[in-house]
Every structure is written in C-alpha cells, then in structure tokens.
Amino acid sequence: MIVITTPIAGQRPGTSGLRKSVQVFRQPGYLENFVQSLFDVLEHHKGATLVVGGDGRYFNDQAIQTVLRLAAANGFGRVLVGQGGILSTPAASAVIRSRKAYGGIILSASHNPGGPEGDFGIKYNAGNGGPAPEALTEAVYRRTQSIERYLGVESPDVDLGTLGNTLVGGMAVEVIDPVATHADLMETLFDFGAIRRLLGSGSFRMRFDAMHAVTGPYAHEVFVKRLGAPAASVVNGTPLPDFGGGHPDPNPTYAAELVAAMFAADAPDFGAASDGDGDRNMIVGRRFIVTPSDSLAVLAANAQLVPGYAAGLKGVARSMPTSAAVDAVAAALGIPCFETPTGWKFFGNLLDAGRITLCGEESAGTGSDHVREKDGLWAVLFWLNVLAVRGESVEAIVRDHWRRFGRHVYSRHDYEGVDAAAATALMARLREALPGLPGQKFSPGTVTLADDFAYTDQVDGSVTTGQGLRIGFDNGSRIVFRLSGTGTEGATLRVYLERFEADVQRHGTDAQQALAGLIATAEQLAGIAATTGRTQPTVIT
C-alpha cells in the first residue's frame, strides 16, 4: 500500500473519460489517483479479467505499467494487454466482449494531439465493452476527491513487445495480438470476397490515412493482408508517440493531406481516415467529402447490402446535434430512431437492449451492435462493401441518397481554445434568452423550439440534462450551441447548423453557402464575435 502524500485534486471526466495534458498526467500520483478511485468504486472484481491498451501516444507505455501494478494490488486475476501497449478503442471493446472480461482501461486522448507537450487520457469501459455509464463516472469522480492511498505491487516492467504470459505480483498478464480479434469480427460482418474483388479489379483505388495513430496496424492487416489492397493504400500507417506532430482528428482541417490527395487530378476512388484511438472515421469520395451525418444515413439506407445487417435494422440512434438525415431513413424503413445526448455511452443501453442496430454522431463516429464503441475501420469496411455491391462512386451514392430522402445540409463550426469564462457566459446568456425565442422570425424561419436538451434513457429511466441549446425553425432548420466535453485548453464552442432541402437541385454542394442565413442568425443570437473575440471558427466540418 502506498499513501498519497500530496493529494491530487479530483478531476471530473469529460465526454469520454479523463483528458489532460501529458504534464498534468505525469504529476506523481495523478494517474494512480484516478485508477485507484476507479478500482475502489468497482465491485466484485477480485480475480476478474481486465483488458488494457491504448492508442500508442507518448506516456502510453509507462501508464500501462502503472495500471498493471495497481490492478495486481487490487486483486484482479488477469490482465489482457495489447502487444506494444496498443489497442484501438473498438478493438478493446471487441476483446472485452469476446473474452468476457470484467471491463477495460483504454489509455487515449482520442483525436487530441500527442507527444510530451500533447494530451493524454484514460477511460474505463464496462463488461458490455462500452464507455462507463454516467453514474459510474460520477462515483469515480467523487472518490478521487477523498482518496488518500493507492495500492501497488513492487514488480519490474512487463515486456509489452512480446506475446505471451507473465506475472505481476500474483496476477497473470497476457500480452495479446491487438489486431486479430477485431479483424476476425470484421470478417463475420462484411463480404470480404466482394471487397477483395473490388480492390483487386485494377480500376478501383483507395487511400486510408491512419494519421500515424493507432489504426495503422489494423488497416495493414485488414485492407492489405486480408483484402489484397496494395500496401501503398495505407498511408501514415505507423503509430508514433506524437502522431508525427499531427492532430489525429479526421476532418477536412486536420486530415488536409487526405483531402488534397482526394481532390488531386489522379485522386483515388475512395479515401478514408481514422483518429488517434481508431473510433472516428472520415469518408471522402473523389472530390467529394461525405459529412458524418450523411454517412450514417447512407449506411442505414444500404444496410441490407451488407451480410451482417442483411436481416434488417432493429432501430437506429443519433446524438442530438447529428443531422436528421438518418431519421428520414428510419421513417422510410419503418424502424425506431432515437435521439441521445452527445457521447457514445448514451447508445449503450439501447444497443444492449436490442433496440437499435446502427448509431452514429456528427463528430465522425459510426458504429453498430457488433461492439459498444464507434468503430473507424468498421465504417470504412461498410462503405467498401456498399461500393463493391453497387458499383457506383461515393458521390453518386450520396447524391442518389439526397434525391430519395432530401438533403440535410449540415455543418459544424468550432471555436477552439476560447476563454472558458467567456464561453460559459455566452451559453448562460443564450440559455436565459431561450424562453423568449419561440414565435420570433429570423431569416431561416420562425422559431418553433428553443430548449436545453435533456434526455431520459429509454431503458433505465435515468435523466441527463444540460446537453446543448437547440433552436429549431418551422422549416426544419436548426441551430445547436454546445460546449465540447473533450478539449483540454480553455473551452471549445461548437455551433451545429442544419437545413433541410427537399429539392436537392436548388443548391450545389456548397454547404456554407446554403447555410449562410443560419450562420448569420447564430451570430445574431449568440454574439460569438463580441463575447469570444473570434470572427471565424477554428475548424469547419
């Protein structure tokens, strides 16, 4: 037992676990405080199996050794750890489920930059393979504020580079292949034969950008080894502790290299990228970027073409700020569509209860009931399967989708690293103004809904409030204001803009142009420039 002599103030985890700068995480006792608090709160874990792995970022290897020593002292029977300390978030979810583990610890700050000056993070996934539910996260947070000791064993570092078994204290440690379980699962869902024929046809080229993050080894195994794509189809495929100095967030700003390649004269037919821990995805056709909201809708509409989903979808779900494109598909299919708060954890109960099969978020996450996380590689394979069956381009498939269902023109404007007090004040002012908005006319239409989104879980009845300010107009347009829960510096204000076009011929592809009225109204309502000093968003997706 080790007594914490310098107590570390408890930290409230954000949308997806605890994320802080590496410097904060390296303070003596900081990581231990969180891990011990988690173990103190968990019940019946003596002798149980824990899965541990991360996205390979700086400090990943050291943090894993710490987790192993604490897990041993806290009575876990076995830890399965990915070779090299690597496990993508969806792969960790797959391993937890297939090995029937008690739960798992994933070391990642997702899409945030890495390296000694970058960010680090830790999150706990439960036995269903999904993010810890709110109640558990809150309990851990409360425990971090009163904890005064952590338990550890004296033991040399485990060799994470070699597959096999060893002991830490009396606890078994098994270094596992980080890729195999997930890759095998993918083979059960998708038509690998059809995708192999597409990739080997000589007339179809793909480019997958792993952004020097965790998906490199997964992409090599699946696209190159199992599906026969040329090795050059995977770029930036070696995980690096600082992600090569990049920002592994697959959006048009941070995946600019991919976008440039896909808009070049000799562009491949299909482009995709994933993020730091492999759960997000970006889909790009030749000179055509697919928004995450549209991607979810297209996958739902084409699910019958994919073996794993050919029997039909039980239902779908999207986070509140995600566009209603998938709602239109659900209505046409006659299946339920759920609207949840931002954060994958809110899909967990619906998936566990068999109420939904597919779900997704505007923040570049799409997934299904195959694991309990969003899954970047899965989304790419889903698209490849659809492309292989339909034999059309990405753009043709999306345009056909818009013709059938109408187009939910969509964009998100992020104001990153703004002064936290200013951002909070902006939201507070807007929240106060909400009751007076219904009935007021703005250029996009008359306000019909203005509220602070609250959600009642359809399965366990738990209520979550304060999930984003939404302002809806009579013509289906919508503006949502929300503060990010994943940033580590200042605050990030997100403004989500959506407008429905039944007649897709009326507008070209330029979303910013089509949304100009809503963008101006958002500024008019929130006074973003005056409050934050920012006249332009940092990132537009």
Q: Are 270 and 387 in contact (CB under 8 A)?
A: yes
For residue 219, which of 162, 258, 169 has the smallest C-alpha distance? Answer: 258
Tokens at 237, concatenated: 């495929």
Answer for which of 11, 16, 281, 340 binds ligand G16 (CB under 6 A) is 16
Residue of 88, 93, 108, 110 marked catalytic: 110
What counts of helices (H) and strands (E) characterise the chain? Answer: 18, 27
Euclidean distance between CA atoms 369 and 506, whole angstroms: 37
At 140, the amino acid letter reads: V
**CA end-to-end span of the chain, whole Å?**
48
- Tell me: does residue 342 bind ligand G16 (CB under 6 A): yes
- Chain residues 158-187 in contact with ligand G16, contact rule CB under 6 A: none
Smallest gap from Cβ 298 to ligand G16, in A, equals 19
Pairing of strands 103-107, 49-54: parallel
Pairing of strands 206-209, 164-168: unpaired
Answer for which of 280, 355, 407, 499 binds ligand G16 (CB under 6 A) is 280
DSSP codes, 122-144: EEEE-TTSSBPPHHHHHHHHHHH
CA 105 and chain centroid, separation: 16
Segment near ligand G16 (CB under 6 A); pick from 171-179, 212-220, 340-348, 402-410: 340-348
Euclidean distance between CA atoms 534 and 26, whole angstroms: 33
For residue 523, which of 426, 446, 408 has the smallest C-alpha distance? Answer: 426
Answer for which of 102, 204, 344, 402 binds ligand G16 (CB under 6 A) is 344
Smallest gap from Cβ 435 to ligand G16, in A, equals 25
Binding mask of the shown chain, residues 99 to 138, with x at each position contacting ligand G16 by CB under 6 A: -----------xx---------------------------
Which of 252/485 has CB closer to ligand G16?
485
Which of 152/360 has CB closer to ligand G16?
360
- Chain residues 23-52 in contact with ligand G16, contact rule CB under 6 A: none
Smallest gap from Cβ 456 to ligand G16, in A, equals 19
Pairing of strands 270-274, 206-209: parallel
Binding mask of the shown chain, residues 60 to 99, with x at each position contacting ligand G16 by CB under 6 A: ----------------------------------------
Which of 280/413 has CB closer to ligand G16?
280
| Annotation marks residue 393 as catalytic | no
- Tell me: does residue 532 bind ligand G16 (CB under 6 A): no
Segment near ligand G16 (CB under 6 A); pick from 142-150, 299-307, 357-365, 438-446: 357-365
Binding mask of the shown chain, residues 259 to 278, with x at each position contacting ligand G16 by CB under 6 A: ----------------x---
Which of 15/49 has CB closer to ligand G16?
15
- Tell me: does residue 221 bind ligand G16 (CB under 6 A): no
Smallest gap from Cβ 319 to ligand G16, in A, equals 6
Count how many Cα atoms sit within 13 Å of the Cα of residue 409 in the half-sphere of its side chain: 23
- Tell me: does residue 361 bind ligand G16 (CB under 6 A): yes
Give the binding-site size for ligand G16 (rule: CB under 6 A). 18
Pairing of strands 288-290, 164-168: unpaired
Segment near ligand G16 (CB under 6 A); pick from 48-56, 199-207, 481-489, 514-522: 481-489
Answer for which of 486, 488, 531, 532 binds ligand G16 (CB under 6 A) is 486
- Tell me: does residue 279 bind ligand G16 (CB under 6 A): yes
- Tell me: does residue 534 bind ligand G16 (CB under 6 A): no
Smallest gap from Cβ 362 to ligand G16, in A, equals 8
Q: Are 18 and 73 in contact (CB under 8 A)?
A: no
List b or e across 266-288, with b for residues whose CB sees 16 or more CB atoms inside 10 angstroms: ebbbbbbbbbbbbbbbbbbbbeb
Pairing of strands 539-540, 407-418: antiparallel
Q: Are 285 and 269 in contact (CB under 8 A)?
A: yes
Q: Are 360 and 295 in contact (CB under 8 A)?
A: yes
Backbone angles phi, psi at 355, to 5 degrees: -85, -25
Which of 33/112 has CB closer to ligand G16?
112
Backbone angles phi, psi at 523, to 5 degrees: -65, -45
- Tell me: does residue 485 bind ligand G16 (CB under 6 A): yes
Q: What is the CA radius of gyration of the chain?
A: 23
Q: Are 315 and 421 in contact (CB under 8 A)?
A: no
Euclidean distance between CA atoms 72 and 49, whole angstroms: 11
Smallest gap from Cβ 87 to ligand G16, in A, equals 14
Euclidean distance between CA atoms 415 and 490, whole angstroms: 10
- Chain residues 301-320 in contact with ligand G16, contact rule CB under 6 A: 319
- Tell me: does residue 57 bind ligand G16 (CB under 6 A): no
Which of 221/279 has CB closer to ligand G16?
279
For residue 276, which of 512, 113, 76 has the smallest C-alpha distance? Answer: 113
Which of 88/110 has CB closer to ligand G16?
110
Segment near ligand G16 (CB under 6 A); pick from 30-38, 237-245, 336-344, 442-450: 336-344
Binding mask of the shown chain, residues 363 to 402, with x at each position contacting ligand G16 by CB under 6 A: x-x-------------------------------------
Smallest gap from Cβ 374 to ligand G16, in A, equals 7
For residue 129, which of 230, 216, 228, 51 has the smallest C-alpha distance? Answer: 51
- The catalytic site residues sit at 110
Where along the sequence are the contacts to ligand G16 (CB under 6 A)? 15-16, 110-111, 275, 279-280, 319, 342-344, 361, 363, 365, 484-486, 494
